[in-house]
Amino acid sequence: MAGPRPAFHAFCLITALALVSSLLGTVAAVPAAAPAAPASLGTAVEAEGGGEQPEGGGDNPGAAGGSGGGQGDRPVEASRPGGSGRDEPRAQADSGGSSRPLTGSPQQPPAPQRPPAPCVPKAPLAAAAAAGESLPYAAPPPVEAPVGALADLERALSEFLAGRPGAYGIAVVDLATGATAAVGADQVFVAASTFKVPLVMYVLDLAARGEADLEEQLFYAPEDWEGGTGILHSSVPGDCHTVSELLNLALTVSDNIATNMLLRRFGEENVFAYMRGLGGTVTNLETGRRATTPRDMVRYLERAYRQAAAEGGHHYRILMGLLTQTAFGDRIAAGAPPGVPVAHKIGTLPAMVHDVGIVFLPEHPFAIAIFSAGVNEQAAAADLAQITRLVSEFLSGWVWDGVPELPGEGSSQPGAPPGDGGGRPAGEPGAPPGDGGDQPAGEPGAPPGDGGGQPAGEPGAPPGDGGDQPASEPDAPPGDGGDQPAGEPDAPPGDGPAPPEDRQWNRG
């Protein structure tokens, strides 16, 4: 009986050793987990906010460097935890444009099941050309206006803004005299859809020099898709549009997809270089978000106006005509005197409300750029209208009757009772506007200074940013949502990413 036991024991031992060996082999085949690299704040924001965030996104701006050569055009955007970048995405440009992967953006809807639409012969710029030709243009001033010629207007604007929440920047040029007024005009704001003005200027400049064909055919690609304002959201790959069609859509209905197609063809970096060539000090942040200052934007507008007024300025008269035909009738357009033509382009993101344009006031036409961040959007839109009214009254020297009271007039706080005066700003006719109505100057919350190139919303400045108005907001053209919500960390007020990127979309 002793014989079989040692054999049995040996069998059990061999089986156990085989099992242990098998287990050890399995464990050895599993790769060791690499230690997680510590995430920097910048990395966290990039992942949450979509990285680039040009035109129209809503981060709370972080610190940005000053403007100047080299890095000056790309202020450094400091990172902050939390938030999500939501801006107008920008498409990868053929020449120099850049794109980043889309993060955190809504799913692009499936393309409709239909064949691509061919290009149809049209004249989308004919009406704009006619409108631009009919506008009254003033001759350039014979002499340079004295410094401080509009100091009283600056004081009136500062008084109007005193106590209002958020950050505002205003730049004005009297196109008849060359005199300027500025309040916070050097603050850096996310550009939102106001960027579409220098973009279209660049393409029209190329066309005027014979370096671009406005009837060139461009074909939609999936990378061009972006939500927000516009009418091209049901595009399918291969849909054909001419450059002139896309210019028309980019300005009149603030179409984000049309903008992306133009950028893919002409190059975003080329547009930035063009802006710097016109004297612009800020074009985008280091993160890629498109940015500007009120002073820069009014510089572009003045140049466009002078070109339109000059002999041979046909292409710039097209630009002026397009800007008189936009689908948005609030802000500057709402504050101009009745019957006075207005050429303007809005930009909106959550907590950011902008508008830039030309008011063709008789005898004193003026260029104006107004940007805001960290604001209630509806109240700020009314403030922009009232600011335009104050400038119009100051330059014309009279107060007009019969203008309905603007929403929220008398206060920028939602729900505040409207101002009195039958829709007329406080102040006697002929006196500088803004002297007796709204918030008195010197109260807490007075608007910050220009900030030396620091984006609005930085520590010490009211937070906020924004983009273009979502289509669901009042005065936005029918369509889907809009541009990037504001509130992202570390981005100057109001900008947005580019197509491949965080697409909280431009809303106007």
Q: Which residue has the higher pLDDT, 470 or 356?
A: 356
Residues contacting 229, CB < 8 A, separation 6+: 193, 253, 254, 255, 256, 468, 469, 470, 471, 476, 477, 479, 482, 483, 505, 506, 507, 508
Q: Among the listed ranges 36-50, 95-109, 378-392, 425-439, which one has the minimum average pLDDT value?
A: 36-50
Q: Has residue 434 got a pLDDT over 60?
A: no
Burial of 41 (0-12, 13-18, 19+ CB in 10 A): middle
> Would you kindly state where each structural domain of the chain is located, as residue ranges?
51-107+120-490
Average pLDDT (23-43) is 40
- What pLDDT is recorded for position 177? 95
191/234 Cα distance (integer angstroms): 26
92/428 Cα distance (integer angstroms): 53
Pick the most confident of 84-98, 355-369, 466-480: 355-369
Portion of the chain with pLDDT greater than 70, in percent: 57
CATH T-level assignment (fold) for domain 51-107+120-490: Beta-lactamase (3.40.710)
Containing 61, the helix (H) or strand (E) segment is strand 59-61
Q: Which residue has the tokens 């063809």?
A: 265
Q: Has residue 467 got a pLDDT over 80?
A: no
Three-state DSSP class for residue 302 = helix
**129 pLDDT band (50/70/90 cuts)?**
very high
Average pLDDT (284-292) is 91
Q: Which residue has the tokens 């610190």?
A: 63
Q: Has residue 216 got a pLDDT over 80?
A: yes
**193 pLDDT band (50/70/90 cuts)?**
very high
Three-state DSSP class for residue 405 = coil
Instruction: Decide: 492 and 58 in contact? Cβ < 8 Å.
Output: no
- What pLDDT is recorded for position 205? 97
- What pLDDT is recorded for position 285? 87
Burial of 14 (0-12, 13-18, 19+ CB in 10 A): exposed
Average pLDDT (120-125) is 85
What mean pLDDT is reported for the chain? 72
Instruction: Decide: 89 and 499 in contact? Cβ < 8 Å.
Output: yes
**23 pLDDT band (50/70/90 cuts)?**
low
Average pLDDT (35-48) is 28
Q: Which residue has the higher pLDDT, 134 or 41?
A: 134
Average pLDDT (135-158) is 94
Average pLDDT (462-483) is 39
388/172 Cα distance (integer angstroms): 10
- Model pTM above 0.85: no
DSSP annotation of 412 reads S
- What pLDDT is recorded for position 11? 67
Q: Has residue 481 got a pLDDT over 60?
A: no
Q: Has residue 293 got a pLDDT over 80?
A: yes
Q: Which residue has the higher pLDDT, 69 or 162?
A: 162
Average pLDDT (411-424) is 34
Give the distance from CA 370 to its chain's centroid: 12
Per-residue pLDDT tens over the stretch 360-395 = 999 999 999 999 999 999 999 999 999 999 999 999
- What pLDDT is recorded for position 54? 33
**26 pLDDT band (50/70/90 cuts)?**
low
Q: Has residue 35 got a pLDDT over 80?
A: no
CA R_g for the chain: 27
